[in-house]
Amino acid sequence: MKSEKTIVLPTPITDSRLTPIKFHHRDKRYRKYFVCQCSCGKTIICHGASIVSGNTKSCGCLAKESRANSRLPNNKGVITQIILGIKRARKIEIYHMI
Ligand SMILES: [Zn+2]
């Protein structure tokens, strides 16, 4: 077993929800993975560089929340229904033409 040198924990970007706790492992490409604590309470294992770059800002809860806050939260289903209705109507038209 090779002894690991002391690995410095990555510094997350300011709006990150993750706090690196400890080094977890290195993958085949020698990329470092860290155990991170998300502000929601979840613990995830995350690639060090993506914590620093801001590619990974949360355990996934941030993406869920921003999706929930997107512009058409309630209308989306309605719009889908309308589009499906139009498509269905077209199919019927084509059916009658044949
Ligand atoms: Zn989270």
Mean pLDDT of 11-36: 95
The helix/strand/coil state of 62 is: helix
- Ligand 1 center from residue 38 Cα (angstroms): 5
Question: Which of 1-5, 22-26, 40-44, 79-83 shows the lowest mean pLDDT across its residues?
Answer: 1-5
Q: Are 76 and 82 in contact (CB under 8 A)?
A: no
- Ligand 1 center from residue 47 Cα (angstroms): 16
Per-residue model confidence (pLDDT) at position 82: 78
Question: Which residues touch 40 (CB under 8 Å, ≥6 apart)?
Answer: 17, 58, 59, 61
Residues in the chain: 98
Q: Are 52 and 73 in contact (CB under 8 A)?
A: no
